[in-house]
Chain A
Amino acid sequence: MSGQVRLHQVGIPDTGESFCCPADMAVLEAMERASCKGIPVGCRNGGCGACKVQVRSGEYVRRKMSRAVLSPAEAAEGLALACRIYPLSDLQVTAVNPDAIAASVRKDVPNGFGSVAASVCTQPDEEK
């Protein structure tokens, strides 16, 4: 151990946010610590898929992610879960479902349990 961890810059062009991420910290954790909001936060542990991002540029190390939410084909296309990637360089990432937490159940579940969330969400429903 050198005692020095490299710092990298992670940018989210869609929101204009950027934050610093040490090489030994997951991108999502660094984002939360910086109080940025550009990537939805779910389980933080590679299981739920809420924080799925397209990595536009940069290199990173991946930890194992649940195939139920990220297929090998998606991974090959540069998709990843932000909670399980560690930067090796500066990164540019885009959230795949920026409304994943707020909207996933709302739009798709007429009369489902989650449809009720619409009544407590401050953002208006977006119809496709």
Chain B
Amino acid sequence: MALTGVLRPGHVALRVLEIEPALKHYANVLGMIETARDDQGRVFLKAWDEHDHHSVVLREADEAGMDYMGWKVDSPETLRKLAVDIEHSGLCSDLGWVPAGEHPETGERFRFTIPTGHVMELYAERTVVGNNCGTDGPELNPAPWPDGMKGIAPHRFDHCLLYGDDLDGTVKLFCEVLGFGVAEQVMAGPDNGFMIGAFLSCSNKAHDVAFIRQPVKGKFHHASFLLGSWEQVLKAGDILSRNRVSVDIGPTRHGITRGETIYFFDPSGNRNEVFAGGYAYYPDKPVITWTEAELGPAIFYHDRKLNERFLSVFT
């Protein structure tokens, strides 16, 4: 196969202040499907079009924010190889293995903390439960979408945007150790030689994760979920307003990745995005550069300026 190594973002584990309002948001408004709860009170959910058992993990805690993000790799052999490579890189701390079954229906995970302070995990195995579209059996003669979808109902958990200080170290790790490429970058400084934002891809997507340089460790800006069209982004805005969800900005368009977007907050203040569009990334695509003078349209192409909340509000 051509797409190897790290395949995609597999899960994001979020801390929420109160589990019930969070569940109403993620299940009824965003429209994820609950697939499991465990004896720690964690709730596991998947988007309708995801085949693996879960992609979002919610845990009630005293603080909002992200516990960790997980990446699915193509095989147990790749998992072991990348664990060795990460250790040899010297770029990460707190390396260790999480045993199989700690997440339901999931094999062992290799956990590490990256230079920007975020906890990341790699795993190779998770039970396939399918997308419930098959008409004559799983994956057999499928319908284009299943019955009974709720809320916004995105196809999948797509990416995260994260804030941290050592952007150079994290970009080096993702590109030189984990096989990602830089799809787009935001450059500042006298000769536009100082990277302040990096949009990284391990696949055909315009980004699988993005990092922005801020003097913080391990902060969470948003988790994003994929929709199929601009009209669905607009409808998401309708659903958010109908449910009195706190909207940050949108619907609008990003310059970076060209995505059509709306941002909003879950009941604990963790930012979510649903988006559509973008382009196909290939490893030989020239890197797109945005300069700081054009940061406004880079982030919000129509307004051509940032809303301050986008920069300064994170969990």
Pair from one complex: yes
State how many residues of chain A have any CB contact under 8 Å with chain B.
31
In the bound complex, what is the Cα–Cα distance between A44 and B267 (angstroms)?
A: 8
CB distance from B165 to the nearest CB of A (A): 9
Residues of chain B lying within 8 A (CB to CB) of residue A102: 308, 312
B212 touches A (CB below 8 Å): yes
B62 touches A (CB below 8 Å): yes
A3 touches B (CB below 8 Å): no
- Contact between A47 and B265, CB atoms less than 8 A apart: yes
* Per-position 1/0 for A102-120, Cβ under 8 A of B: 1011001101111111011
Interface of chain B residues 19 through 59 with chain A (CB within 8 A): none
Q: Which of A47, A68, A102, A111 has the most CB of B within 10 A?
A: A47
CB-contact partner of B64 in A68, A101, A104, A117, under 8 A: A68
Which one of A11-19, A59-67, A86-94 is at the interface? A59-67
- Contact between A42 and B309, CB atoms less than 8 A apart: yes
* Per-position 1/0 for B255-269, Cβ under 8 A of A: 000000000011111
CB closest residue in chain B, given A120: B305
B314 touches A (CB below 8 Å): yes
**Contact A46 B311, CB 8 Å, known A68-B64, A112-B214, A120-B305:** no
**Contact A45 B267, CB 8 Å, known A111-B189, A111-B196:** yes
In the bound complex, what is the Cα–Cα distance between A119 and B295 (angstroms)?
A: 10
Residues of chain B lying within 8 A (CB to CB) of residue A101: 308-309, 312-313
**Contact A66 B214, CB 8 Å, known A47-B315, A50-B313, A111-B196:** no
In the bound complex, what is the Cα–Cα distance between A42 and B213 (angstroms)?
A: 20
CB-contact partner of B314 in A44, A48, A109, A119, under 8 A: A48
- Contact between A42 and B306, CB atoms less than 8 A apart: no
Residues of chain B lying within 8 A (CB to CB) of residue A105: 214, 311-312
CB closest residue in chain B, given A65: B17
A43 touches B (CB below 8 Å): yes
CB-contact partner of A109 in B194, B215, B270, under 8 A: B215
Question: Main SS of the interface on chain A?
Answer: loop
CB distance from B200 to the nearest CB of A (A): 15
Residues of chain A lying within 8 A (CB to CB) of residue B295: 116, 120
Q: Which of B197, B213, B267, B315 has the most CB of A within 10 A?
A: B315
- Contact between A45 and B268, CB atoms less than 8 A apart: yes
Interface of chain B residues 194 through 251 with chain A (CB within 8 A): 194, 196-197, 212-215, 246, 248
Chain B interface residues toward A at CB < 8 A: 17-18, 62-65, 186, 188-189, 194, 196-197, 212-215, 246, 248, 265-271, 292-293, 295-296, 305-306, 308-309, 311-315
Q: Which 9 A-B pairs have the closest CB atoms?
A: A47-B269, A43-B269, A47-B64, A68-B63, A44-B246, A45-B269, A42-B313, A43-B265, A67-B62
Given contacts A65-B17, A113-B311, 5 further A-B contacts (CB under 8 A): A47-B270, A101-B313, A111-B213, A116-B306, A120-B295
